Amino acid sequence: MRHGFLAQLRFLFDGPEPESDFEPIAPRVGPRPRPAPQPPLAPQLVRHPRARRYVLRLTSDGTPRVTIPRWGSKREALAFLDSQRDWVARERLRQAERAQARPAREWFDGRAILLDGREVVLRRAVDRRAGVVEGDGALHVTPRPRDGADLRPVTMAWMQTRARHVLPARLLALAARVSGLGVGELTVTQVSVRNQRARWGSCATGGRISLNWRLVQTPEAVRDYVLIHELMHLRQPNHSARFWALVARACPGHEVSRRWLREHEAALLDAR
């Protein structure tokens, strides 16, 4: 069977999709009960004319969704889904754990969020215009009148602007640096920064890479790992052993960054 795999870095890790396209870490009081396993749900099978491989995702309620390429069949899609049943069970459990861990939606004065991997405090400011001023280990935020006391909308907009300045330039610098490490020439034709809800980045054919703006909240080493991860998909559009060998060569110690992402996933996902 021609079962394919995707090239994207999800919350957490998954594989490529058809071509197309911190909140504070809240203190926990005692261990949270582990969510009970969810009952199986009927899968969604969706044919996509531009898909080049079978793609498996989970919807927000945990339903498996399989994209079928033009040449594929429902029989092969179900076989592919069956071969990934352990992954589905793990991801559905993670969804339930994220739902339990997700902090409050509003960001008020005195709240800490992650920026560059460190906690910074939000302070309400009163300026003539809504915006953010960074200083004294804090972000001084003037909200818009319609936001009331919630500092989240203006802070998020500021971080997204920061991401558009920082991430593309860093990706291109890393592409130039790691090209000389025996991974082959890396040609990036387009870099976009998006508000992705379920992945850190994605790599499409033709050298097009998309990055999640929330990467500006992670430590520099973690951020570099994600960018290198996507760059290596230019050489290997899958998550095979060969792909991970390339990642290890270009980013020694990347396992530490993967663990950091897992540990902070709930807080980062809350920055929606």
Of 81, 101, 121, the domain-final residue: 101
Lowest mean pLDDT among 63-67, 145-149, 177-181, 267-271: 267-271
For a pLDDT cut of 90, what percent of the chain falls above it?
52
Residues 84, 143: one domain? no
Q: Average pLDDT for residues 111-120, to the nearest whole number?
A: 92
11 within some domain: no
218 within some domain: yes
Backbone CA torsion sign across 104, 106, 112, 114: positive
Greatest mean pLDDT range, 52-61, 175-184, 215-224: 215-224
How many domains, in total, are found in the chain?
2
Residues 147, 238: one domain? yes
pLDDT in tens, 123-138: 999 988 999 999 988 9
C-alpha distances in Å from residue 254, one per residue of 7, 207, 257: 18, 23, 5
pLDDT for the residue numbered 263: 85
7 within some domain: no
20 within some domain: no
Q: Average pLDDT for residues 76-84, to the nearest whole number?
A: 92
- Per-residue pLDDT for 221 more than 50? yes
- Per-residue pLDDT for 271 more than 70? no
Q: Which domain holds residue 252?
A: 112-269
Q: Which residues contact 82 (CB under 8 A, 6 or more apart)?
A: none
Residues 245, 150: one domain? yes
Residue 223's φ and ψ, nearest 5 degrees, are -60, -45
Residues 122, 46: one domain? no
pLDDT in tens, 146-199: 999 999 999 999 999 999 999 999 999 999 998 877 777 888 999 999 988 778
Dist. CA 270–CA 102, nearest whole Å: 6
Dist. CA 155–CA 58, nearest whole Å: 30
71 within some domain: yes
Residues 131, 84: one domain? no
Residues 226, 249: one domain? yes
9, 202 in Cβ contact below 8 A? yes
pLDDT for the residue numbered 183: 77
Closest to 200 (Cα-Cα) out of 189, 209, 190, 188: 209
Counts for the chain of helices (H) and strands (E), in that order:
6, 11
Closest to 54 (Cα-Cα) out of 66, 36, 45: 66
Q: In this structure, what token pair is assigned to residue 219?
A: 């430590």
48, 72 in Cβ contact below 8 A? no
Give the residue, 219 or 100, on which the prediction is more confident: 219
2 within some domain: no
- Which residue is it, tokens 């003539």? 128
Q: In this structure, what token pair is assigned to residue 269?
A: 């996902």
pLDDT band of residue 59 (cuts 50, 70, 90) is confident
Of 75, 101, 127, the domain-final residue: 101
Residues 172, 244: one domain? yes
Dist. CA 256–CA 193, nearest whole Å: 24
pLDDT for the residue numbered 99: 62
- Per-residue pLDDT for 24 more than 50? no
Residues 117, 243: one domain? yes
- Per-residue pLDDT for 31 more than 70? no
* CATH code, domain carrying 169: 3.30.2010.10
185 within some domain: yes
43 within some domain: yes
pLDDT band of residue 97 (cuts 50, 70, 90) is confident
Of 73, 101, 129, the domain-final residue: 101
Residues 173, 70: one domain? no
Burial of 226 (0-12, 13-18, 19+ CB in 10 A): buried
Q: Which residues contact 11 (CB under 8 A, 6 or more apart)?
A: 198, 199, 200, 265, 268, 269
Residue 200's φ and ψ, nearest 5 degrees, are -85, -30
Residues 37, 145: one domain? no
pLDDT band of residue 269 (cuts 50, 70, 90) is low
Residues 139, 255: one domain? yes
Dist. CA 205–CA 226, nearest whole Å: 18
Q: What is the mean pLDDT of the chain?
A: 82
Residues 65, 190: one domain? no
